[in-house]
Amino acid sequence: MGRKFAIGLAVFAVLGVAGAVLFQKPIGAWVFGRAVEANASRDTAAQLDDGLHIGLCGTGSPMPNIDRAGPCNIVIAGKQMFIVDVGEGGARNISLMGVNAGDADALLLTHFHSDHLDGMGPLMLNHWIRGSNAAPLPVYGPVGVEAIVYGFNAAYATDDTYRTAHHGEEVAPSAGGGAEARPFEMEGDSSVILESSGLTITAFRVAHEPIDPSVGYRFDYAGRSVCISGDTIRSPNLERVCTGADVIVHEALQTAMVTQMQETLEAQGNANTAKVMFDIKDYHTSPEDAAKSAQVAGTKMLVLSHLVPPLPSSFLYPAFLGDAEDHFDGPIVVGEDGMFFSLPANGDTIEQSQLM
């Protein structure tokens, strides 16, 4: 009886495979159609309750990592949306997370290292076409952002004319392509750069020499707050400005791991890359120091991002964290692309989900 059942099951499996191959084209078309319907109607922001929301559209670094885009963060406050930094692959992930870049009110840059802005081109295009925006994407940053925006606009100017000629003014208004620089001066160690509909955005200085200025951002809305560190060593100014924040999204470099990479590269005779590994240790924050900052600031949750070195598996997370959990009383999350955190208005909970 058992043998007959096994034979019958095998025959059924063979027939199933044969049927799938025979009808692959119509089955594939049906599956594709269902996927198109599901994704075309997806609008993450429209489904959110009032509050402050943070999405990780990129948690990587310049080191290659197939699972992580360059530094990129989405902040949604009520009906307002901002992107903080947009590294390579960040614009792609924004779309994969079901967020419409056409709805972005602005891009905020923490500093002008290439890995924090080399996704600007696709973001400008998506902001323009997906939103049929008649005005360029505002780009806030310290003084000097004008040159960055000018360069991207120059690079994309010819393509912009093609898009309008092909899709027409209704979809691609000729005045809406590119970006517009919104530079701000840092007066002291922190400065409010935007107040709108109950949202306050504060830029604050961090230490990332020789880059100057380099800033982080604090967002306050509906009784909730989040800080994004930008690139920095441990920063007393961040600890001061971010006091009481619900969430700190902080960059992190595990010194022991990078030192191991440096020593291996030196042994293999790769002096240039070994020198880079040596140099980057002096202007980033270890997970342990990020945890100490979170404890001093009294934040509820620490989320680590801009991870160095690449982590191809979550199995490596404990080694990456080192002793960080000994220095912070709250939860520490090793950030992954697609993570999303919701802070309901005037509450104290933090809800975590995965959007891709």
Give me the tens of pLDDT residue by residue for the chain, a chain 356 residues long: 566 555 655 555 555 666 667 777 887 788 888 888 888 878 999 999 999 999 999 999 999 999 999 999 999 999 999 999 999 999 999 999 999 999 999 999 999 999 999 999 999 999 999 999 999 999 999 999 999 999 999 999 999 999 999 999 999 999 999 999 999 998 899 999 999 999 999 999 999 999 999 999 999 999 999 999 999 999 999 999 999 999 999 999 999 999 999 999 999 999 999 999 999 999 999 999 999 999 999 999 999 999 999 999 999 999 999 999 999 999 999 999 999 999 999 999 999 999 99
CB 130 within 8 A of CB 160: no
What's the pTM value of the predicted model, to 2 decimals? 0.92
- Residue 156: Cβ within 10 Å count: 20
Distance CA(28)–CA(11), nearest Å, equals: 24
Q: What is the pLDDT of residue 14?
A: 55
Distance CA(81)–CA(83), nearest Å, equals: 7
Q: What is the DSSP letter of 108?
A: E
Q: What is the pLDDT of residue 347?
A: 97
Token readout for 266 is 């030196």
Distance CA(83)–CA(67), nearest Å, equals: 20
CB 284 within 8 A of CB 234: no
**The residue count for the chain:** 356
The residues facing 204 across adjacent strands are: 190, 216
Query: For the domain 44-354, what is the CATH superfamily, name and number?
Result: Ribonuclease Z/Hydroxyacylglutathione hydrolase-like (3.60.15.10)
Residues marked as catalytic: 115
The residue assigned the tokens 């890359």 is: 273
**Residues in contact with 295: Cβ distance below 8 Å, sequence separation at least 6, in sequence order:** 327, 328, 329
Distance CA(187)–CA(204), nearest Å, equals: 10
Distance CA(94)–CA(87), nearest Å, equals: 11
- What 3-state class would DSSP assign to 230? coil
Q: What is the pLDDT of residue 10?
A: 57
Distance CA(219)–CA(242), nearest Å, equals: 10
CB 45 within 8 A of CB 99: yes
Distance CA(90)–CA(311), nearest Å, equals: 18
Distance CA(289)–CA(296), nearest Å, equals: 11
Angle between helices 271-280 and 255-267 (to 10 degrees): 160
The residues facing 221 across adjacent strands are: 224
Closest alpha carbon to 254 in 308, 313, 332, 291 = 308
Percentages of the chain per state (helix, strand, coil), in multiples of 5: 40, 25, 35
Distance CA(297)–CA(245), nearest Å, equals: 7
Closest alpha carbon to 246 in 306, 311, 301 = 301
Phi and psi torsions of 205, nearest 5°: -70, 140
